[in-house]
Structure formats: C-alpha cells, structure tokens
Amino acid sequence: MFADPARIYADLTSTHNQSLRGLLLRADLPALWPWIASLVCLLTLVAARRCDRLLATTLVGLCAAAISPWSWGHHWVWITPLTVVVADRVLRRRQWAWLVPGVLLVATTPWVLALADPPDAAGPAVLTSGPLWFLVGNLYLVLFVTVLGLALWTGRSVSANPGREPIAGIGLWEDFRDWGSVPTWWEILAAKVAAFCPRGPGDLRDPVPSDQSRAC
C-alpha cells in the first residue's frame, strides 16, 4: 500500500483519499509526503504533551488518519471524541477560537462532502476546482490542521499546572495507574463527560482543584 496505493483505488488523485498523501498527489507534490508527514507527527507529539488526555488521544488518532497512505472518509472516526473536545472548549472553558473547528465539524456531513467527493454511482462532482473545492475536498485534513494549530496555541506545558502528570510517552496514563490497566478511549471519553457533572462517588475527573486552570 505504501508503494502502490492504486491497489486500493485506481485514481490516485481522487478526493476519496482524505489523507495528506492524497492531498499532495492532487497537488502533484507526492515527493513531499514523507517529510510533511514527519513534521505533522512531530507537531502532534508536541501538542499532545501540552493537552489533556482526551484531546491528546484525539490528536493522535486524527494524525494517524492524516499520515496514512490512504484514508477513506470513514477512517476519520476520531471526529467523534473531537466533538466532545470542542463542546468542552466552547461551552465550559469559553475558548471561542474552538468555534472554528466546530463549524468545520458541522460541515463534515455527507451532503457537503459529496459536493467534491460524491460516490462513484452519483456521477461527477459539483465542485471540481478552486478554493471551495480544495476546502471541501480536503475537509478532514483542514479540520485536523485547525485542531492541531489550536492545541499548539492554547496548550501549555503541564509543568505549569501542579498536580498534573505529563501525558506523553511512558507517563501518558499515569493518572489511571489505579485502574489496573490502560484505559480504552471510551473510558477516557466517559471521564471527560463526567467533568460536566457534579462531584460525587466514582467521579472520574482529573484530580485538579476546581479553582485551578487546566492545560490546553
């Protein structure tokens, strides 16, 4: 697949490929893929170290879809936990810049994506060139880059937030060591959702005082 993505789909420049490599193939710049993919991985690592667990996990999942040789639209399942992240940033933390990925998330509906990436049986695309075609035809990537940029911009080192452990590398699951095993993504999602509820027995929220600001 790395050497010959045509085994998946005949048209390598098709907007069916919602990965970074697909974008570069459409721009006739395939040689840049390994270098840009490496840079994206590095930036994702930096951002993940500065964010809470759910956003860090979501960023890594989005990055995996972005740097894959071929990513269909349904491979971008990480927009589901991203919806929770965006809601948290906008509704609870009042970080209004996160409205931008919120709008992009709303746009990832089939009828919008089909304007530039229709099913094969539906005939030609409505959008075939221009800035709007580029935006809609690479919407998942645009969403990922926007979220990555916001994470780098609004995030800060966990060392500035006492009581928090680093959330990258070996220390990623330090706060969950009492669970006895590495938590699944839905357990992390449940912990994040619990942050909206009053404290009580079995609360899964981070052990951070309520008057203390959170990272990212």
pLDDT at residue 37, rounded to an integer: 94
* 158 neighbors 164 (Cβ within 8 angstroms): yes
The pLDDT of 177-187, averaged and rounded, is 52
What pLDDT is recorded for position 62? 96
What pLDDT does 144 receive?
96
Return the top range by mean pLDDT from 33-42, 182-191, 205-214. Answer: 33-42
Least confidently predicted of 31-40, 96-105, 192-201, 202-211: 202-211
Q: What per-residue confidence (pLDDT) applies to 123? A: 66
- Examine the pLDDT at 200 and tell me if it is beyond 80: no
pLDDT in tens, 126-158: 777 778 878 888 899 999 999 999 999 987 644
H-state helical runs in 18-155: 20-26, 33-49, 53-67, 79-87, 99-107, 110-113, 131-137, 139-154
- The token pair that represents 19 in the structure block: 């990965």
At 30, the pLDDT band (50, 70, 90 cuts) reads confident
Tokens of 50: 């500065």
Q: What percent of the chain has pLDDT over 70?
A: 64
- Helix axis angle for 53-67 and 33-49, nearest 10°, is 180
Looking at residue 26, what is its pLDDT? 86
Distance CA 78, CA 100 (A): 17
What residue type is 25 in one-letter code? L
pLDDT, residue 9, reads: 57
In whole numbers, what is the pLDDT of the chain averaged over residues?
75
More confident residue, 208 or 122: 122
Q: Is the pLDDT of residue 73 over 50?
A: yes
- Measured CA to CA in angstroms, residue 139 lies from 46, 66, 104, 109, 202 at distances of 23, 11, 8, 10, 39
Between 122 and 93, where is the model more confident? 93
Show the CA angle centred on residue 51, arms to residues 47 and 57, nearest 5°.
80
pLDDT of residue 25: 87
Q: Tell whether the model's pLDDT for residue 44 goes beyond 70.
A: yes
Residue 92 has pLDDT above 60, yes or no: yes
144 within 8 A of 134, measured Cβ to Cβ: no
Judge whether 111 and 139 are in contact, CB under 8 Å: no
